[in-house]
Structure 1
Amino acid sequence: MQRTKSLTRQMLLASTLAIVSWSGVAQAENAPGMFRSEFLKGNLGWEDVTAKAREEGTVNFYYWGGSDIINLWVDQVATPALAAEGVRVNPVRITATKDTVDVVIAELAAGRGEEQGSVDLVWVNGENFYSLKQQNALWGAFANRLPNSVNFEWDENDPRSLLNLRDFGVETGFQEMPWSGEQYVCSVNRAHVSAENTPATFAQLKTYLEANPGKFTYVKPPHYLGNTFVQSVLYAHNPDGTGAEPYQKNFEELGGAELARLMEPGIEYLKSIEPLLLGGASGKPRYPENSGELDNLFLNSEVHFNCKFGVFGNHNGLITGAYPEQAEEMIFPAGNMIKNKNYLAVPLNSPHPAAALVAINYFSSAEAQASKLKTAGMPVGLDLWRLSDEESAEIEASAPPHYGVTQQQLDDNIAPDTNASLVDVIEATWLAVIERKEDKPLADIVAQVSGELNN
């Protein structure tokens, strides 16, 4: 009898230890950061990711919500597709990506670490990606590990991989996935401007405005559309005639004095056209705060031109009624039409990281990209030469039309974006010189604003 009781106690003890041990393993597997660690080590298969994504159930997708047709695509196409994979899309439509970046950085500073944040997925590029990377606020090198990564060129020896591997000159490190490719394209209202009078250079734009004062403006920096206009002016007025080339260097490599020297002719041009811009005759040039305001000015013929990112922006403007009926694209500024890609990134403290990866993998499929292109006029971010013939044909057939220009003409006039480390310095210089009218040598202003940004 005593032997039986002893065996029973041993069996109970063994069972208890097994339960405790299993519980500890389960807790370890579900501990914050464990999924990230195992995925980045290559220890998880895609079926493990999709299973965890279904368990998480939701992806909080933060993205610029200023386009009704993109919002419709997210709601009517992407959301049902991801629901079929067990992931509910919670779209968080924002007006400024920087605000979301600030939220992520603030959460991490407050101790909300892995899987404890609020943002799962963010549409990002340029200085916003640079800020997240500088603050070590990104989830890790996931992009080349997803099944649909085969749709992108990652070979660094192939020059076509540049925009996948560098974002505003900053190495992506596979910490973001390309989502769309865009170009800074201007439209013209043919009801007011003939083909012969359409400017192709900044000198020609100034001549047009001298004859038609007030009929042009650009979005106010630090909005990215305003920054891009300013950058294209700087490229065109590079005193060395090397265009965008020196602006590919980072700030430390280029130096403040050299940046000021390169910028000076362009800044002088911006100062010279101020009286010719919308409202400039009164001494108060009017700079719209965003693309929506500029669209309204263009639609109402208050300005004759509309410059913003959007390879198919003219088409989208026509079908939504946001553009005048006689709007056409134009080649301006010739040789300096900035082109880049935008991306999807996962913050370090994403609360549903597996769901974020599943969402990104869907967004990176040829099917989703073709649908996005056809429905929302949003150019593809993947690389057509990496696709099957059938997939490439589907995407090409989905592309909206151009008006007044050809795709080849757009391709022939591209320029790279400015290095992300220079963007904040350039926009702060614009605010000092153009908005606040600071009357100091440009080198002093650049030194001042760069010092303030680094503090």
Structure 2
Amino acid sequence: MPLTFTRRGFASLLALTPFLSPARAEESWDDIEKQARGQTVYFNAWAGSPQVNDYIAWAAGELATRHGITLEHVKLSDTGEAVRRVRDEVKAGRQGSVDLIWINGQNFHVMKEEQLLFGPFTGDLPNFALVDTDGKPTTLVDFAEGTEGLESPWGMAQLTFFADGAKLDTPPMSMLELLDLARDEPGRITYPAPPDFHGTTFVKQALVETIDDRALLPLAIDKDTFTEATQPLFEFLDQLHPYLWREGKQFPPTQAQVTQMLSDGELLMGLTFNPNEAANLVSAGTLPDTTIAWQNRGGSIGNSHFVAIPINSNSKAAAQVVADFLLSPEAQARKADLKIWGDPTVLDMDKLTPAQRALFTGGDAPGAVKDPARTIPEPHGSWVPLLEAAWLERYGA
């Protein structure tokens, strides 16, 4: 595996040496599948959703039957837990307790920078050829960081708002329109407090709609430039917050609580990073059939989420087979099914056979986004800790 040295230099190389394997240029996919049989993959993945957990359990059953692989879901509340564990294990020269990790954003940036990832491997996955790398460029770029074959795309996400259309017939299609709505409906709108992921994403959406120079967003940012660039953002939030739930002096801790408050009638609208979540909630009976979902007309923050293999994994062959299975049309279609998970696919429908396309049974379901907006790529990962720290300092009390 070729290494690109960072400032950690040879100290990093010494730590990684026990886990480096010889080049496998002549190793076929059949060879990898044979090696994978009988291996156990400890898949460290967020476990905050029953739908996600059930889907991973289904995948585990299929992998056992088809490939003789045992997939163990190590349930996480914070992906950073697994990143820290891999770092500690590599530093100690120990084989890993993490074989596959559900990851993106800053966690990927950290693992890539610290050379904690196995690969590149995605180009070896047969199903990777079906990925829509042109129409969905975030399958190759993760929070402005090139994936370079070190993580395999798994699903898509985009900031989406939803409400009961019987109570809100004209949804706000921009942050300025949201401010107008908040003024008209004081106390009935809010968002989760950062560093909750959805809350941070809401702030990032406000950032991209208020910043004077969007060309700064894909770049690594320093604190002085950040302070100047985000002045319009915090001026906007200062205007918005007095009209929010509890006058912006308190924020719900999670997106799930915001959704519950919407369901209870306490709030007028909710938000999600899964464009299909509102339709999912309608299907489950949690939200009414009159639910509408939308994305801001100028575009909304979006990204892909991925799976990656730590460099000290005990089961690299099986982890690759799992990653490939998760990209299969069958697995992607099941994941996209509103009744199962509703996570949008990373595949290019034009690359699929008619039979494979038929597996995707989407449709014009109540609560589905009717007019998807263009995806605005995530800012560079360096923006996130500065945004969260500045928000907490200003509003956290």
Is the pair's TM-score, using the shorter chain for normalization, greater than 0.5?
A: yes
- Relative to its length, the structure with more helix (as a share) is 1
1:105-146 residue CA offsets vs partner (Å, 9 max, x unmatched): 22222332xxx1111111111111111112211112000111
Change (3 A) 1:107 1:271: farther
Instruction: Return the offset for 1:324.
Output: 4.4
Instruction: Return the offset for 1:225.
Output: 1.1
Instruction: Return the offset for 1:153.
Output: 5.0
Aligned-partner SS, 1:279:
helix
User: Is the counterpart of residue 249 in structure 1 residue 219 in structure 2?
Assistant: yes
- Report what 2:12 is aligned to: none
User: Is the counterpart of residue 373 in structure 1 residue 336 in structure 2?
Assistant: yes
Q: What pairs up with 1:280-359 in 2 under 5 angstroms?
A: 280=247, 284-285=249-250, 287-331=251-295, 333-359=296-322
Aligned residues of 2:69 and 2:318 also touching (Cα < 8 A): yes
Aligned residues of 1:370 and 1:380 also touching (Cα < 8 A): yes
| Cα distance in structure 2, aligned partners of 1:141 and 1:176 | 8
TM-score, normalising length from structure 2? 0.89
1:130-184 residue CA offsets vs partner (Å, 9 max, x unmatched): 1111221111200011122211256xxxx54622221111010100000001111
- Segments of structure 2 that go 5 or more residues without pairing to the other structure are 1-16
User: Is the counterpart of residue 54 in structure 1 residue 37 in structure 2?
Assistant: yes
- Segments of structure 1 that go 5 or more residues without pairing to the other structure are 1-30, 437-455
Q: What pairs up with 1:9-408 in 2 under 5 angstroms?
A: 33=19, 37-38=21-22, 40-56=23-39, 58-75=40-57, 77-84=58-65, 85-112=67-94, 116-153=95-132, 159-160=134-135, 162-195=137-170, 198-240=171-213, 244-251=214-221, 255-280=222-247, 284-285=249-250, 287-331=251-295, 333-374=296-337, 375-395=340-360, 398-403=361-366, 407=370
Aligned-partner SS, 2:205:
helix
Instruction: Return the offset for 1:321.
Output: 3.4
| Cα distance in structure 1, aligned partners of 2:281 and 2:132 | 31
Aligned residues of 1:335 and 1:414 also touching (Cα < 8 A): no
- Report what 1:12 is aligned to: none
| Cα distance in structure 2, aligned partners of 1:91 and 1:321 | 28
| Cα distance in structure 1, aligned partners of 2:138 and 2:61 | 30
Instruction: Return the offset for 1:387.
Output: 2.4
Instruction: Return the offset for 1:259.
Output: 2.6
| Cα distance in structure 2, aligned partners of 1:144 and 1:161 | 17
Question: Match of 1:368, as an amino acid?
Answer: A
Aligned-partner SS, 1:394:
coil
Question: Match of 1:37, as an amino acid?
Answer: S
Aligned residues of 1:236 and 1:336 also touching (Cα < 8 A): no
1:216-243 residue CA offsets vs partner (Å, 9 max, x unmatched): 1112111221111101101111235xxx
Aligned residues of 2:104 and 2:304 also touching (Cα < 8 A): yes
Aligned residues of 1:370 and 1:394 also touching (Cα < 8 A): yes
1:55-95 residue CA offsets vs partner (Å, 9 max, x unmatched): 32x111111112212222222x3122100110111112212
1:244-303 residue CA offsets vs partner (Å, 9 max, x unmatched): 44211222xxx43333222111111112222211112xx732x22222212211111111
Change (3 A) 1:98 1:324: farther
Aligned residues of 2:279 and 2:368 also touching (Cα < 8 A): no
Aligned-partner SS, 1:140:
coil
| Cα distance in structure 2, aligned partners of 1:248 and 1:402 | 35
| Cα distance in structure 1, aligned partners of 2:238 and 2:278 | 29
- Greater displacement, 173-182 / 58-67: 58-67
The structure with more radius of gyration: 1
Aligned-partner SS, 1:208:
helix
Aligned-partner SS, 1:323:
coil
Change (3 A) 1:32 1:259: closer
Aligned residues of 1:179 and 1:382 also touching (Cα < 8 A): no
- Report what 1:433 is aligned to: 394
- Report what 2:7 is aligned to: none
Aligned residues of 2:294 and 2:369 also touching (Cα < 8 A): no
1:362-411 residue CA offsets vs partner (Å, 9 max, x unmatched): 1111111112112321111222233233323432xx2253446655x21x
Q: What pairs up with 1:408-447 in 2 under 5 angstroms?
A: 409-410=371-372, 412-436=373-397
Aligned residues of 2:101 and 2:309 also touching (Cα < 8 A): yes
The number of aligned residues is 378
| Cα distance in structure 1, aligned partners of 2:136 and 2:300 | 20
Aligned-partner SS, 1:360:
helix
| Cα distance in structure 2, aligned partners of 1:48 and 1:32 | 22
TM-score, normalising length from structure 1? 0.78
Question: Match of 1:295, as an amino acid?
Answer: T
Instruction: Return the offset for 1:54.
Output: 1.4
Change (3 A) 1:320 1:101: farther
Task: Give the root-mean-square deviation of aligned CA atoms.
Answer: 2.2
